[in-house]
Amino acid sequence: MNKSGDRNQPLIVMKDVTRIYGSGQASMQALKGITLTISAGEFVAVMGASGSGKSTCLNILGCLDIPTSGTYLFQGIAVEDLSRNQRALLRRYYLGFVFQGYNLLNRTSALENVELPLVYRKIPASKRRQAALEALEAVGLQDWQAHTPGELSGGQQQRVAIARAIVTNPDILLADEPTGNLDTERSLEIMELLSGLNRERSLTIVMVTHEPEMAAYATRKIHFKDGLVKNTPGKEEA
């Protein structure tokens, strides 16, 4: 797999993907056969009501789950054919994650939180520190590196989380309701930051949101309803 991606093929392709949880009468079909394509450099907002399948789709895109049927291709590789360890390596080296709840280590400084993905990669300490400082500078928090999450506002904590996600130079950033815990002003600041990363670094972003104001920052929107991409079942919305 090419870390920079092959610009001649889509970064992500999902073909007739279903996801069923449970079995028998207790089974629940979260995805009912979705097909979509995401190209490198896009900023895509995935929208839909609670239970529409958008978070299940994001979990599959992030290799946290696999389809029950259908195919998920990442840079042309069928993810469902990979082993658990191979999917973990794909997450580690190619994907960045931002969550609604920040998921920072409370007793650890902002700098150390950002360094964490590089620790898992066994990057030497001096190189980890430099990369983490650069990531914090990219989100405007270079002067807050020694502060713990408890000493930061919600917006600042989310900026640290974004710095942690981009410190590995991922091929794609997956954001699950990244402004869900923030007020309107802080939310718009986070969206300006994400939009800037997409525009200036050509970072591919897939963001789940239910807020039209936040989705407006994306270059394309995909709407989910009842486990399907809205409009024609199984087809992508333009």
- The pLDDT of residue 73: 97
> Residue 8 pLDDT > 90, yes or no?
no
72 belongs to a structural domain = no
Residue 85, token pair as written in the block: 């360890």
145 belongs to a structural domain = yes
- The pLDDT of residue 235: 41
Share of the chain above pLDDT 90, in %: 89
103-140, pLDDT tens digit by residue? 999 999 999 999 999 999 999 999 999 999 999 999 99
Spatial contact of 207 and 218, defined as CB atoms under 8 Å apart:
yes
Q: What is the DSSP string of 208-220?
A: E-S-HHHHTTSSE
Query: What dihedral angle (degrees, nearest 10) is formed by the CA atoms of 61, 52, 39, 70?
Result: 60
- The pLDDT of residue 9: 75
151 belongs to a structural domain = yes
> Residue 5 pLDDT > 60, yes or no?
no
- The pLDDT of residue 236: 45
11 belongs to a structural domain = no
23 belongs to a structural domain = no
**Can you tell me the distance from the alpha carbon of 148 to that of 178, in angstroms, rounded to the nearest whole number?**
20
Contacts of 52 (CB under 8 A, 6+ apart): 224, 225, 226, 227
34 belongs to a structural domain = no
> Residue 7 pLDDT > 80, yes or no?
no
Q: Whole domain around residue 196: which residue ranges?
A: 42-63+84-227
Q: What is the CATH number of the domain that holds 89?
A: 3.40.50.300
76 belongs to a structural domain = no
How many separate domains does the chain show? Answer: 1
Mean pLDDT for the chain overall: 92
Where does the pLDDT of residue 233 fall: very low under 50, low under 70, confident under 90, or very high at 90 and above? very low
**Can you tell me the distance from the alpha carbon of 142 to that of 122, in angstroms, rounded to the nearest whole number?**
23
Contacts of 121 (CB under 8 A, 6+ apart): 92, 93, 168
| Count of H-run helices and E-run strands, the chain | 7, 10
Contacts of 166 (CB under 8 A, 6+ apart): 96, 135, 138, 173, 197, 201, 203
Where does the pLDDT of residue 231 fall: very low under 50, low under 70, confident under 90, or very high at 90 and above? low
235 belongs to a structural domain = no
Nearest to 72 by CA among 56, 85, 96: 56
pTM greater than 0.95 = no
> Residue 26 pLDDT > 90, yes or no?
no
